[in-house]
Amino acid sequence: MDLWYSESHTENVKFSLKIKNHLFSNKSSFQKVDVFETYEFGNLMTLDGLVMVTEKDEFIYHDMIVHPAMAVNPKTKNVLVIGGGDGGTVRELMKYPSIEHVDMVEIDKMVVDVAREYFPSVSCELNNEKVTVLYEDGVEFVKNKKNLYDLILIDSTDPIGPGEGLFTTEFYTNCFNALTDQGILVNQNETPIYDEFFKVGISSNRKLKKMFPIVEVYQASIPTYPGGYWLFNFASKNLNPKTDLKEEEWESLNIKTKYYNPTLHVGSFGIPTYVKEKLADGTI
Ligand code: SAM
């Protein structure tokens, strides 16, 4: 009998992957964690039944949450990652010798343990001496932090369960205060393909615009994420991702990437008209 994993993207749309083995299943105090071995995408981790990371396409998401900001400010030294328990975001950050320290604040230790066991190529830099992994709630962690980080990456789940507080004006304000003058914040901003997801994206984008002078949206195609098309917010105190790209300086660092490059960077900020319009007028 064939085994299939399925995720409903809407009540009328389902995404399914054929399964070889169900490798891990357990419930933490925050969420249900499962790992499946799939035929097409390698190992797959789900949280509360939703796709988080697959071995085959994780490189796209992790390249795009890290490198656009690093190519705009290659002199970044101190970074805060909120969430990111699979370790892929930290792996990409550790490719930059300029980075002196990364705090990764992940609420659920089970996710990190499972990533170490079943996703070694993703979690491979979590023991790096420049990295501190803190098992705390990111919402609480950023409170009362002032002028500490050059870059904050919110690599979170959707705004349900533990991730809910990571999409609030209060949280974004605390992040703004925790950033240095050249500070940049990047968060995953859902897909515009399905209204229920895009409502979250539009709301998050609007909240960031209340405090950051520069907020731009960029895109990437991620096959296992809803709609296969994903957006990110680039919120910045000073540096503009469209006009402050340090292409030559970034190229001179010889950072090995599988998805990101400076030409793609420029294109990724060229978002479709319907997305621009809906973000501008805030209507679905
Ligand atoms: N790339 C994935 C996505 O876009 O869906 C996210 C991957 S990462 C595994 C998401 C992580 O955020 C999870 O490990 C989850 O435990 C963590 N998380 C959720 N809410 C959190 C919070 N309030 N503080 C810290 N980490 C949180």
Report the helix count and the strand count for the chain, using DSSP H and E: 10, 12
pLDDT band of residue 98 (cuts 50, 70, 90) is very high
Structure tokens at 179: 């950033």
Under the banding of pLDDT at 50, 70 and 90, the label for residue 282 is confident
Can you tell me which residue has the tokens 């939703």? 50
Q: Average pLDDT, stretch 95-106?
A: 98
Q: What is the mean pLDDT of the chain?
A: 97
Catalytic member of 57, 155, 158, 281: 155
Question: Buried (b) or exposed (e) across 217-234, using 16+ Cβ within 10 A?
Answer: bbbbebebbbbebbbbbb
| pLDDT at position 60 | 98
At 204 the three-state DSSP class reads helix
- 156-183 per-position pLDDT tens digit: 998 888 889 999 999 999 999 999 999 9
User: Does residue 49 come out as left (phi exceeding 0), alpha (psi in the -120 to 50 range) or beta?
Assistant: left
Taking only the tens place, the pLDDT of each residue in 109-166 is 999 999 999 999 999 999 999 999 999 999 999 999 999 999 999 999 988 888 899 9
CB atoms within 10 A of CB 154: 28
List, for residues 218-247, the tens digit of each pLDDT value. 999 999 999 999 999 999 999 999 999 999
Rounded to whole angstroms, the Cα distance separating 125 from 208 reads 30
Helices marked H in the chain — which ranges? 58-72, 88-93, 109-118, 120-123, 138-141, 169-178, 195-209, 247-252, 262-268, 273-281
Quick check: 42 pLDDT over 90?
Answer: yes
Q: CB under 6 Å to ligand 1: residues?
A: 47, 52-53, 61, 82-86, 105-108, 111, 137-139, 155-157, 162-163, 165-166, 188
pLDDT at 62: 98
Mutate to test the pocket of ligand 1, among 63, 156, 233 (most ligand atoms within 8 A of CB): 156
> DSSP characters for 6-39?
EEEEETTEEEEEEEEEEEEEEE-SS-EEEEEEES
Q: For residues 173 and 150, give the distance between their C-alpha atoms in angstroms, rounded to a whole number.
A: 15
Residue 97 near residue 74 (C-beta atoms within 8 A): no
- Whole-number Å distance, alpha carbon 47 to ligand 1 midpoint, is 9
Centre of ligand 1 from the C-alpha of residue 115, in Å: 13
| Confidence check: pLDDT of 284 > 90 | no
155 catalytic? Reply is yes
Note the Cα 136 to chain centre separation in Å. Answer: 18
